[in-house]
Structure 1
Amino acid sequence: MGQQIAQTLSNRHGFSVDAVSHMLTAVYNGNGSMAQFSHPEFGGSGQWMAGGMMMIGDMFNQNLKYRVSSLCDDCARSIAENQTGTSSGVFQSQSQSGGSNYQDQQAGGGSGENSLFAPDPRRNWWPQELGSPSASGSQNQMRYAYFANAQRLAVATGDDVWLYDTLQHNIGGFSQQQSGDGSITFTSQFGVVPLSSLPVVSRNGVEQTSQMAPAPEPAPATPPVQQEPHAPAQQPTAPASAADASANPNDVFDTLNRLGGLLDKGYITQEEFDRKKSDLLDRI
């Protein structure tokens, strides 16, 4: 049935059967509402989303853009008419720029298969005790399967299958750097996060001790810096009496009255009184 539909859509839209088959698969993997594709007849890599969003590599070719969009709409309609199972929860791998790469996406949680497509021979490569993934997909030579309820993420690279603890992340997509170290990142409610930040649970079924770097410890409280006591500003040598520091006339006369009282009581001599009196009067 899938071959018949591909042939019909090929005749209708003027694309080859191979190109139409590629688009059917892309739309199906996008749960019938979106597609990420890469085919020369479609201007290279592109994206489609039901409701009008359409991007192709040959961005200024409006005629091709319209034809590809119409094909995507017909693919979605054909898949819906021949759907024998249901699925939910679209899982989208992020498109990359630069270089050549292949990626697809699948929605998990379904019960049943679409009669248009043969089963994927690579299915169920993850640990079987995890059951059915919430979402799965592939990108370049990497495959991944996300199990939201179990908080686990399975990643296959070459012959190795790694199982990660997803912690509090609600994973929504993957991307892989096409330049540099080719590192893998994923997106969650916390933003873009490197895959290497997740604890490793097992490799090929063998439990692993997590090699995650420990969280940085809070820096110890820095003791307050002992400030050297400031030497008091050098003041002019104070006279024997506080009265000598005043230059206010009223204060001078008050001081003289107090000095007179000291003289009357014999606490100071007449000579001392006269010297202080002369000094204070010079300040007025």
Structure 2
Amino acid sequence: MDATVTPEAESAIADIAQQHGLSREAVLAMLFAVNNGGGTMAQFSIPELGGSGQWMRGGMTMVGNTSDNALKARVDALCGELSQLLATTTVFPTTPSSPQGQFTANNWWPGDLGFPSSSGGQNDARYAIFPAMRRLAIQVNGVTRVFDTGEHHIGGVQQQQGGSTYGSVTFTSQFGTFDVSGLPELGTEQVAQTPVAAPAPQEVRDQAPPQPVQPQSEPFMAAPADDAATIIAAIESLAGLHQRGILSDEEFATKKAELLARL
């Protein structure tokens, strides 16, 4: 990684590395991962932290060894500190063409979207997912289109071999498999529009505050609201991960019990 950090951030990284018994390089790699996830999630591959894994603030932390709860706690604590660092400190030097916290080199998507949580592609079709913005960018044959993902929390991507159309890339969320034909396409002026409107002032003191909708990168995360259909969909996603061996029996049972308790 050739991006640099500010002196203030460099000092904080050194302190965090010492506190967690990690190398500076490992902490810096996780910092980039958390930043790429909008400060609320991270997909990473760091040998010192068990290889590939993912983290989501307030959600489930996944590491290579699914039964290593100590490592999960370590990753969660590290990512929490880095998320706080990103929120309170100028971490990346800014330039007129590179806003704070955004990497712009070789980006094919609109710069207002920032950096995706995941991207990829093959042949002449490629995609980039921006969960914090609720946006999805797809480029086919050099033409980029941006879509509003709404309530979808994308956890998987499938691309047809040799496909070079917008419909050749399909996605999986808590609602099942879909392609961009079912999503509203956005014009240029809508790309960076704030996806969630500010809540109205609280007028009734006894009314419970609205629960924040948090982006998530995998369907195994907890349902964002106590809606029966959403909870059932989340349990089904958990079952699929359990059958594939990604979740242990204990993890599946614990998370399933938490979701069922909301019904």
Q: Shorter chain as normaliser: what TM range?
A: 0.3 to 0.5
- TM-score of the two chains, using structure 1 as the length reference: 0.44
Q: Which one has a bigger Cα radius of gyration?
A: 1
After TM superposition, the score normalised by the length of structure 2 is 0.47
